[in-house]
Amino acid sequence: MPVANRKLRRALLTGSFVVALIATGAWPSRAYASDKPQASPVSADCAPDGEVTFICGPENPEDLANVPGAPWVIVSAWQDDGYLSAVHTGDGSIVEIYPGQEPQARQDMELYGDCPGPMPENFWAHGISIRPGDDQVHTLFVVRHGGREAIEVFELDARGATPSVTWIGCVLPPAGGPAAPAQDFNSVIWLADGGLAATRFAVDEVVEWHPGGDWLLVPGTQGIGANGIDVSPDGRYYYIGGWATEALYRLAREAPYQLDKLSAGFHIDNVHVDDSGRVLAAGQDAPIEAILDCVQNPDGSYRTENSGCTTIISRVLRVDQDLQNDEEIFRYRTNEYLPLVTTAIQVDNQIWIGGLMGQRIAVIEDPCSRARPT
């Protein structure tokens, strides 16, 4: 086995999946080109698979976020020349919104004066979160890697025919983070008091930031394999996806920081609260060795197709706020249509599901919508 492959397997077996893929160069790369999504309808050859339909075009759609009050979903492309795109929830049209040909910047020095400035090049997008604003102008937070480790902050304007973004700042990670090329932040969520919370997968903790202050460790979050994160509608609890621990956690945000756990039986990636206040937890059901075989050839090179992923099952759970009841709403064996699932959100009466190693977002009918009166 090549040395890089040995390192990757060892890291995977300890739960450091994402860090290992980056550190050994096993994850996708692409040159910046004009073939990124433009404002065009979904491809005609984007055929459904039974009850699962697809939106084809966004590359490695690792995370998704609804634009408040507008028919758009923001998509992050998790790759070394990544980008942000917007998908129309009605006709499926797709447009790149960042960096694009002329990325816009207007730094908010009051809030983000410690940020060294915009860096649109080598933009590796990861977790995303949107804080609702007034008059269809919101704030978009994006975990980014590549050119730097940071949470990039954008003004998101949804008033036009298509959304547009202007970079306004960034928040750098705590000092003493993992050495490059390992990634620091993974997921981010906005807080009602103006702050942020983020998972640090490589460090195995959750941290909070508030304007004018430093990052602070969230008590009770070390050692749980924190990957995805969201906050309850009342702001009292964090919901945290434990990738290595195969569990969903609910953590009280005030002392004594009670931590509740739901064993899920699969590697939970991103978590998002749906319209009812319940939690959508998405991830992969397979031994870690099988996930490695899915993404890597025997010689250690990155796979360009999904033939090695047939033993992996992608799953999405919907979980009540108290973690006492859960329902599996999506189970899909990886094939040529859909690779490793990493995220799921509610979009009106549908569930949209994104993931890695592909160019599709899966769409299913929300099971709850079938019981709603018309």
**Full pLDDT tens readout for the chain, 374 residues:** 222 333 333 334 334 444 444 444 444 444 323 344 444 444 447 899 999 999 999 998 999 999 999 999 999 998 878 999 999 999 999 999 999 999 999 999 999 999 999 999 999 999 999 999 999 999 999 999 999 999 999 999 999 999 999 999 999 999 888 876 678 999 999 999 999 999 999 899 999 999 999 999 999 999 999 999 999 999 999 999 999 999 999 999 999 999 999 999 999 999 999 999 999 999 999 998 888 787 778 887 767 677 777 789 999 999 999 999 999 999 999 887 888 899 999 999 999 999 988 899 999 999 987 655 44
φ/ψ of 309, rounded to 5, equals -105, 15
> Which residue spans within 94-149 are E strands per DSSP?
94-98, 104-105, 123-131, 137-146
Q: Distance between CA atoms of 187 and 367, rounded to whole angstroms? A: 26
In the prediction, which pLDDT does 4 show? 33
Taking a C-beta distance cutoff of 8 angstroms, is the pair 80, 124 a contact?
yes
**C-alpha distance across the termini of the chain, in Å:** 59
Query: Which amino acid would we find at residue 137?
Result: V
Taking a C-beta distance cutoff of 8 angstroms, is the pair 196, 174 a contact?
no
CATH architecture of 3-371: 6 Propeller (2.120)
What does pTM read for this prediction?
A: 0.89
In the prediction, which pLDDT does 357 show? 84
Contacts of 34 (CB under 8 A, 6+ apart): none
Task: Decide: residue 372, CB within 10 A, 0-12 exposed, 13-18 middle, 19+ buried.
Answer: exposed
